[in-house]
Amino acid sequence: MAIRKLRYEGDEILKKKSREVEVIDEKLQTLIDDMIETMHKYNGVGLAAVQVGILKRVVTIDLYDDNGPIVLINPVIIKTKGAEEVDEGCLSFPNQFAKVVRPTEVVAEYTDREGKRMRVKAKDLLAQAICHEVDHLNGEVFVDKIVPGTLEYLEPEG
């Protein structure tokens, strides 16, 4: 496992649409492991492959609960319910936070890392994370969706 180099604001790759994963092979498993390790190193809740420079539809999410990290390959949001203003940040936009309107619940279909097609009904933070990461796969970043006037820059620690 290795820490991958994050891509940051202004990097053109963040605006590109990621490609469907055709084959779940050893190389993809390594990417997934590296993404989880990278996400944890930077205390992220989610990470999309594009954020480490790989245009594949792969997402890792960890709510730091007892369930451990989840991996979504080729995720598709098939249903949303409700809407709320939530605080959001992004590893590709360090020290920037803003309010974004997200669904309170989503249903998403995805392939897990063993190749099984799955469905998840997510609420609250998990729903928010799935929406945020799927946006990344579509070349969209959270700062494009913020509630006007809510963007804050925090001074880095240290």
In a domain, 2, yes or no: no
Give the domain extent around 74.
12-153
Instruction: Inform me whether the pLDDT recorded for 156 exceeds 70.
Output: yes
Given this model, what pLDDT does residue 155 score? 82
In a domain, 1, yes or no: no
Q: Would you say the pTM of this structure is higher than 0.75?
A: yes
Angle at 142 between CA 124 and CA 114, to 5 degrees: 60
Give the pLDDT confidence of 98-142 residue by residue, as tens digits: 999 999 999 999 999 999 999 999 999 999 999 999 999 999 999
The Cβ-side half-sphere exposure at 158, using a 13 Å CA radius, reads 2
Given this model, what pLDDT does residue 76 score? 98
In a domain, 6, yes or no: no
Note whether 31 and 1 are within 8 A (CB): no
Share of the chain above pLDDT 70, in %: 99
The CATH number linked to 77 is 3.90.45.10
In a domain, 34, yes or no: yes
9: annotated active-site residue? no
- Count: domains in the chain: 1
In a domain, 27, yes or no: yes
In a domain, 5, yes or no: no
Given this model, what pLDDT does residue 151 score? 95
Note whether 106 and 131 are within 8 A (CB): yes
The CB density around residue 3, as the number of other CB atoms within 10 Å, is 13
In a domain, 73, yes or no: yes
Given this model, what pLDDT does residue 127 score? 98
Instruction: Inform me whether the pLDDT recorded for 24 exceeds 70.
Output: yes
Catalytic residue among 26, 133, 140, 157: 133
Q: For 77-81, what is the mean pLDDT?
A: 98
Token reading at 101? 């309107």
In a domain, 54, yes or no: yes
Give the pLDDT confidence of 61-75 residue by residue, as tens digits: 999 999 899 999 999
Confidence of residue 158 (pLDDT cuts 50, 70, 90): low
Q: For 37-57, what is the mean pLDDT?
A: 98
